[in-house]
Amino acid sequence: MARRPTPLGTPQPTGLAHIADLVRTTIPPLHPAGLPFVLPPLAAAVLGRKHPWIRRTGLAAAGASAAFFRHPHRVPPNRPNVVVSPADGEVALVDNAVPPAELNMGDAPVPRVSIFLSVLDVHVQRSPVAGEVLQVVHKSGKFLSADLAEASDANERNSMLLRTVDGHEIAVVQIAGLLARRIVCDAKVGDMLPIGDTYGLIRFGSRVDTYFPAGTTLMVERGQRAVGAETVLAQLP
C-alpha cells in the first residue's frame, strides 16, 4: 500500500471530513490478514461489556493485534534503478551470499541485505522494485531465531524472484523466525508489482533478505533502521 503525494492545489477538507482525514493519516489501516485476530476479542469485549475484566481483556487483545497487523501508507522514491527496503526493521546483515538454491540463480555469492523484524515492527512486505514476478517458491524448514545468520538457509522461507524492465533480477526472501509460524505471500508468477507495493506478511518476528545482481552499490549499513518501501537499500548497476 504505497501512497502518492497529494498534488499541489488540491482543496483541503474541512469540518468532519478534515477530522476523518486526520484520523485516516494518523492511525494506520489494518491488513486484511489481521481481521481474524482483531474481530474475535473485539466481539468478546462487546458481548462481555458488563464484566470489566472481560471488556478490558478483549479490548487490549484487539488493540495489540491491530497494532501488529498495521499497514501504513508509504511513498516510494521516484529515482531510477533504486531498490527499496521490502520491510520495516533493523539491517542485520550487509554482505555477499549465495541466493536460495530453489531460485536457480547460481552458486556465486551476490550482494545481500537482511532486515530483522521484531514483534513491534510493521510486518507487511513490499516489493523492493517494480518488476515481473518470475518465481515464487515456499520451502519448509526450522524456526530458529531470525537474527541468526544460519536462519537464511535453515528456516522456513518463501522466496520470490523479480525482474525489472531493465532486465535486473532481484530476489526477496521472507524468512520465518522463532515465533513466526505463518508466511503469507499474495504474489503469483506473472504478476507485475509496482515498487513499494505490499505483497505479503509474516506473523510474529521474522526476517527478510534481499539479493541483488553483481555490481550493485549497497547504500545501507548494519544496525541502520529501514522503513519499508521508502529506505533505499541499493543502486542497481
On the question of pLDDT at 72 being above 90, the answer is no
Strands 157-163 and 131-139: antiparallel
For 60, half-sphere exposure in the C-beta direction (CA atoms, 13 angstrom radius) is 6
Residue 201 or residue 67, greater confidence? 201
On the question of pLDDT at 9 being above 60, the answer is no
Give the model's pLDDT for residue 51: 81
Per-residue pLDDT of 110-121, as tens digits, reads 999 999 988 788
Q: Which amino acid appears at position 35 of this protein?
A: L
Mean pLDDT of the 67-92 span: 88
What pTM was estimated for this model as a whole? 0.80
Mean pLDDT of the 134-160 span: 79
Q: Considering only 63-67, 136-140, 155-159, 174-178, which range has the smallest mean pLDDT?
A: 63-67
Mean pLDDT of the 127-147 span: 85
Residues of the chain with pLDDT > 70: what percent?
Answer: 78
On the question of pLDDT at 87 being above 90, the answer is yes
Per-residue pLDDT of 45-58, as tens digits, reads 778 878 888 888 88
pLDDT confidence of 202, banded at 50, 70, 90?
confident
Domain ranges of the chain: 15-69, 82-235
Q: Considering only 130-134, 159-163, 180-184, which range has the smallest mean pLDDT?
A: 180-184
Give the model's pLDDT for residue 22: 57
Cα-based torsion angle of the residue sequence 139, 143, 144, 147 in order, rounded to the nearest 10 degrees: 70
pLDDT confidence of 152, banded at 50, 70, 90?
low
Give the three-state DSSP class for 181: coil
Q: Please name the residues in contact with 112: beta carbons below 8 A apart, sequence gap of 6 or more.
A: 93, 94, 95, 96, 97, 209, 210, 211, 212
**Ramachandran region, residue 67 (left: φ > 0; alpha: ψ -120 to 50; beta: rest):** alpha
Give the three-state DSSP class for 199: strand
Q: At the topology level of CATH, where does 82-235 sit?
A: Glucose Permease (Domain IIA) (2.70.70)
111: which 3 cell numbers? Answer: 550482494
Annotation says 85 is catalytic: no
Mean pLDDT value across the chain: 83
Q: Which of 65, 85, 159, 206 does the annotation list as catalytic?
A: 206
Rounded Cα–Cα distance for residues 120 and 207 (Å): 13
Contact 227, 74 (CB under 8 A): yes
Give the model's pLDDT for residue 58: 80
Give the model's pLDDT for residue 91: 96
pLDDT confidence of 196, banded at 50, 70, 90?
very high
Give the model's pLDDT for residue 21: 59
For 208, half-sphere exposure in the C-beta direction (CA atoms, 13 angstrom radius) is 35
Residue 99 or residue 145, greater confidence? 99
